[in-house]
Structure formats: C-alpha cells, structure tokens
Amino acid sequence: MSSLPLEPAQSCPAQGLKGEVSVPGDKSISHRSLMFGTLALGDTEIRGLLTGEDVMATAEAMRRLGAVIERDGDDFRVSGVGVGGLQEPALPLDMGNSGTSTRLILGMLATHDLTAVVFGDASLNKRPMARVTDPLSQFGARFMARLGGRLPLAVQGTADAMPVRYVSPMASAQVKSAVLLAGLNAPGETTLIEPTPTRDHTERMLRGFGASVTSEASNEGLAITLTGQPELRATPVIVPGDPSSAAFLAVAGTIVPGSALTITNVMQNEHRTGLFQSLVDMGADLALVNPREVAGETVADVQVQSSSLKGCLIPADRAPSQIDEYPILSVAAAVASGTTRMEGLEELRVKESDRLAGIIDMLGAAGVVTRSGEDWLEIDGLGGPVPGGGLVETQLDHRRAMSTLILGMVAEKGMGVDDRNCILTSFPTFVTLFNDLGADIA
C-alpha cells in the first residue's frame, strides 16, 4: 500500500525497558472481521480493529465488493451484503503487503459470479498464490496469474460452485481459510483436511457468525467441514491484542538488561503462542496472568523480565504456532548462551520475503554465526550483547525491520534498517511505543 520513500532507522543499546503496555489488535482477527462482516447480513460492530496498512487495504477491498464500512473513533461498522451478494469490483483490488488477506479474498471471490483483478506491492507480487488457486479451481473458478502463480492475478468466479473435499499438502491456515470461504457460497458440505492443526480463527469466527463448521480427527489429519450457503448474521467483534506484535515486546523485555514489562490483553489461542513457549524453554522469566475470555478467544496479560537465556532445540511441530515469530525468536537466540536449532522452517521461504534467508542476513550483519539448510537454522548465541553495526535491507518485510531494531538494543554498535515505513503494515506505533518504554530508536 505504502508508496512512502525509504526512511532509515537506527536502534542503539538500551537498558531497563519498563512499563505496562498494550499492543495493536490482532491482524488475523481484524482481516476476518471485515470479511465476515461483509458476508453477513446486518451491521457488524468491530472494536479494537488494527488500523495498519494491511487491514485498511482489506477494508477498501470489501468496500469495492459492496460493503459499507464506517469508522467512529476507534470503532468500525460493517454493513454486509450476505453470502452470495458480492458485487463485481469496478477497480482492481490493491491488497498492499498482506498475503493473508489476499489468499482469503481469493476464496471469497472464487464462488461468486464476478471477475476481479488482485494485486499488491512489490513484495506481495512475488509471493506464490498457487497454493490457494489450485484448490479453489476445484470449485469451478478460473485464475490467470503471472509465471509461478504470482500477482497481479485475475479471477473469474463461478456461478455454479460445487463443494469440494481437499486434502492440503501443507499446514497452512491461509489455504484452509481460502477453501472454507469459497465453500460458504457452494451448496452441500466442503471439507478440508490439514496434516497438522493450524490457527483456527476462521472456524471460530464462522461459528460466531452462524455457520456450521465441524472439526474431526481422521486418518488423513484434521478434517474441517463447513455446510455451505448459510445465512451469516452480523455479530459484534472485539479484537484482542496481536500475539505476533506482543512477541517483539516479550523478547525485548527478556533480553534487554534491567527490563520488566507487562503486555496486556494478548490473545492466547493455542495455535498462536509457540513463541512464548519457546522463550520459556530457553529460560525466560515469562508468566501469563489474568486469563479471560474475549469474543470467543482466550486472552491474558504477559509479564516478562530480563533473563539469562540458553540455546535449545525448537521442534518442527511448534512451527505452525510461531511461524511469523522466527525473526524475533532468532534475536533471542543470538544473545543466548550456546546453540539454538530451529526445525520445520520451510514455510519461511514463501513469506513477505524469503524470511529464512532474511534472518541469516540480519544476524550476519550483527556478527552472529549461523548454519542452515532448506528447513532448519542453527544460531550460535553469544551469551550477551552482539557486535552489531550492520545495516539491514528490509525488502518490505515488517517483521525483519522490527526484529533488527530490537537486535540493535542488545548490540554494542547498534543496528540499522534501510526503511522503517514497512512497519506501518502491522504495528504503526512500534517506534513510539518502544521509545516511550526507554529504547533509543532514531
């Protein structure tokens, strides 16, 4: 979305990050609340919506598909068109930097009788979409994409959708969600089978809006079945704090000397909290307090204090629950004592950039030794501050940018990034928030 010029930033060594802080609303819930509100009848009230560029791109796309979306202070209202009611957009849909909303919206479009063009920024246009267009084609939709199944992409939705049964070759909540969204406007039952359970926000929220969605273990994996053509009903949504954003504060509070942070109202969905468990495995002083239910999701306050971390094995079966957190987890590993080995990282190759390569470049710029394969990474921790002094190219990857700036807080010479504007996609208040806590990001 952003066409702002590059704006470099430098993070210097820090001491004693202290305070109580909240993080922006969860990006996954924010995207879905706008989409499901569009597919529901009536007015969906949303509190705590993330207002980063990615989510605002989703809001604009929903408007072009017929929804009326209004903002009143921090609250949003979505007047939906109902399942089957999407209108053909007069203009292409610009999805900015968000792979999640792009893949989900392709599912929405696939079973509506319309033609649409979808594109994104330079980073998103490099990301493969065949992982969703292949199963969506089974509903009867047609796609025309660039070489490698990449954006810009044209979709011709089908007027005669048929339900499908799809066995996903990968553990991907985006693939699962795209198939379920397509199944909403197909008669009968659509079933997706995933080899490993992934984040279940789509299933939870669809049930909240009135759809029938079941999950059952099978010999092939977890089978999620949706009954098509429901009448979704508008329902209020309260967006909890984003655990992916909280991860940056949790790691900073653990590795910056003299720190003590409380991060409030953080979602604790079991498919999203692998980072917190990994920090505990490494010896972090981290506790979850005041657990409670908010809009169908468990939330809690996360308390962290500076700790002496030790390298350990981060198993492959934890990857789905922390897939977006490996860049910042690698920062913790860099200052831990001993070697940390992370396995099951193949999904990082197809994020906003090749995130595995990006992690290696970031740590190398800070003087940290790594070894890697196609789906694993070993980091030799220094047991304290890293040399630092490097400048990292973000390549429009907001998580690489934020991770680098936190690495600079424990680097003798600090760390720099070539552009901090990409952070606006998910955590617009990142720099101000950390500086208010005692960091030095210039």
For the stretch 90-111, what's the b/e string if a residue is b when 16 or more beta carbons lie within 10 angstroms of its beta carbon? eeebbbbbbbbbbbbbbbbbbb
Cα-trace Rg, the chain = 21
* The token pair that represents 42 in the structure block: 């009536």
Strand partners, 223: 193, 216
Residue whose pair of structure tokens reads 């997706």 in the numeric block:
192
* The token pair that represents 105 in the structure block: 């919206």
Q: 76, 237 in Cβ contact below 8 A?
A: no
Give the H/E segment covering residue 85. none
Catalytic residue at 324?
A: yes
Q: 237, 29 in Cβ contact below 8 A?
A: yes
Strand partners, 72: 75
Catalytic residue among 242, 324, 397, 419: 324
Q: Where on the phi/psi map is residue 395: left (φ > 0), alpha (ψ -120 to 50), or beta?
A: left
For the stretch 277-289, what's the b/e string if a residue is b when 16 or more beta carbons lie within 10 angstroms of its beta carbon? bbbebbbbebebe
User: CB 70: neighbour CB atoms within 10 A?
Assistant: 10
For the stretch 395-430, what's the b/e string if a residue is b when 16 or more beta carbons lie within 10 angstroms of its beta carbon? bbbbbbbbbbbbbbbbbebbbbbbbbbbbbbbbebb
Give the H/E segment covering residue 398. helix 398-408
Measured in degrees and rounded to the nearest 5, phi and psi for residue 107 equal -65, -40
Please list the alpha-helical segments (H only) found in 196-311. Answer: 201-208, 243-255, 274-281
Measured in degrees and rounded to the nearest 5, phi and psi for residue 360 equal -60, -45
Residue whose pair of structure tokens reads 């508008």 in the numeric block:
234
So which residues are the catalytic ones? 324
